[in-house]
Structure 1
Amino acid sequence: MNLQQLHILDAIVHSDSLQQAAQKLHKTQPALSMALKKLQQDCGFALLDRSQYRLQLTPAGQRFYLQAQQVLQQSHQLKSLARYLSTGAEPSLRLAFDEAVNLSEYLPVIAAAQQAYPQTELQLSCDYRLKALEKLQAQQADLAISPWNDVFIGLGDFESVAVGRFELVCVASPELLSRLDAPLTQHTQLASLPQLVADSDALSFDAGALLPLQSPHRVKVNNSLCMKQALLAHLGWGMVARYQVRAELESGRLMQLHPTEFPRFIGGEVHLVRHRHVLPGPVADSIWQQLATGT
Structure 2
Amino acid sequence: MLSDDELALLQAIQGSGSLTRAAARLGKAPSTVSHAARQLEARFDALLFDRRRYRLQLTPAGRLLAEEAGRLALDVSRLTRRVKQVAHGWEDRLWIVTDELLEYELLLPVIRSFDVLDSGVALRVTHEVLGGTWEALLDGRADLVIGATNEPPSMPRLQWFELGVIEWVFAVSPRHPLAKVTEPLQQEQLLPYRAVVVGDSSRAARHRGYGVLGGQATLAVPTMRAKMLSQREGLGIGWLPRERVAPWLRSGALVEKKMAERREPNTLYVGWRGDHQGRALTWWVEQLRQPRLAKRLTQGVAVPP
TM-score normalised by the chain length of structure 1: 0.72
1:137 matched to which residue of 2? Answer: 138
Note the C-alpha offset of 1:111: 2.9
Amino acid at match of 1:284: L
Q: Deviations over 1:235-281 (max 9, x none)?
A: 2101233455344334432222224x242x642443221124x2312
The partner residue of 1:286 within 259, 283, 293 is 283
Note the C-alpha offset of 1:287: 0.8
Out of 91-100 and 235-244, give the one that drifted further. Answer: 235-244
Give 3-state SS (helix, strand or coil) of 1:192's partner.
coil
Structure-to-structure mapping, 1:16-31, within 5 angstroms: 18=23, 21=26
Counterpart CA distance in 2 for 1:270 and 1:97 is: 11
Amino acid at match of 1:58: Q
Structure-to-structure mapping, 1:77-116, within 5 angstroms: 77-116=78-117
Q: 5+ unaligned residues in a row in structure 1: which ranges?
A: none
* 2:253 maps to 1:267: no
2:49 matched to which residue of 1? Answer: 46
Counterpart CA distance in 2 for 1:44 and 1:90 is: 44
Distance 1:205 1:156, change over 3 A: farther
Distance 1:7 1:194, change over 3 A: same
Note the C-alpha offset of 1:96: 0.9
Out of 9-18 and 192-201, give the one that drifted further. Answer: 9-18
Out of 68-77 and 102-111, give the one that drifted further. Answer: 68-77
Counterpart CA distance in 2 for 1:266 and 1:49 is: 83
Counterpart CA distance in 2 for 1:243 and 1:71 is: 52
TM-score normalised by the chain length of structure 2: 0.70
Amino acid at match of 1:249: L
Give 3-state SS (helix, strand or coil) of 2:265's partner.
strand
Counterpart CA distance in 2 for 1:127 and 1:37 is: 59
1:241 matched to which residue of 2? Answer: 241
Counterpart CA distance in 2 for 1:167 and 1:221 is: 21
Counterpart CA distance in 2 for 1:11 and 1:109 is: 43
Q: Answer whether contact 1:144 1:274 (CA < 8 A) is retained.
A: yes
Amino acid at match of 1:194: R
Q: Answer whether contact 2:171 2:255 (CA < 8 A) is retained.
A: yes
Distance 1:282 1:192, change over 3 A: same
Note the C-alpha offset of 1:166: 2.4
Instruction: Give RMSD over aligned pairs.
Output: 4.0
Q: 5+ unaligned residues in a row in structure 2: which ranges?
A: 294-305
Q: Deviations over 1:83-127 (max 9, x none)?
A: 323434222211111122244333322332244245322111121
Counterpart CA distance in 2 for 1:7 and 1:282 is: 37
Counterpart CA distance in 2 for 1:30 and 1:206 is: 76
Structure-to-structure mapping, 1:149-228, within 5 angstroms: 149=150, 151-154=151-154, 157-176=157-176, 178=177, 182-188=180-186, 189-200=189-200, 202=202, 206-208=208-210, 211=211, 214=213, 216-224=215-223, 225-228=225-228
Q: Answer whether contact 1:148 1:268 (CA < 8 A) is retained.
A: yes
Q: Answer whether contact 2:11 2:66 (CA < 8 A) is retained.
A: no
Distance 1:78 1:147, change over 3 A: closer
2:298 matched to which residue of 1? Answer: none
Give 3-state SS (helix, strand or coil) of 2:133's partner.
helix
Distance 1:219 1:207, change over 3 A: closer
Q: Deviations over 1:52-86 (max 9, x none)?
A: xxxx8537699679846555444433433333234
Counterpart CA distance in 1 for 2:140 and 2:146 is: 14
Note the C-alpha offset of 1:229: 4.0
Note the C-alpha offset of 1:214: 2.9
Counterpart CA distance in 2 for 1:17 and 1:285 is: 50
Distance 1:20 1:102, change over 3 A: closer
Note the C-alpha offset of 1:39: 3.0
Counterpart CA distance in 1 for 2:163 and 2:51 is: 62
Q: Percent identity?
A: 18
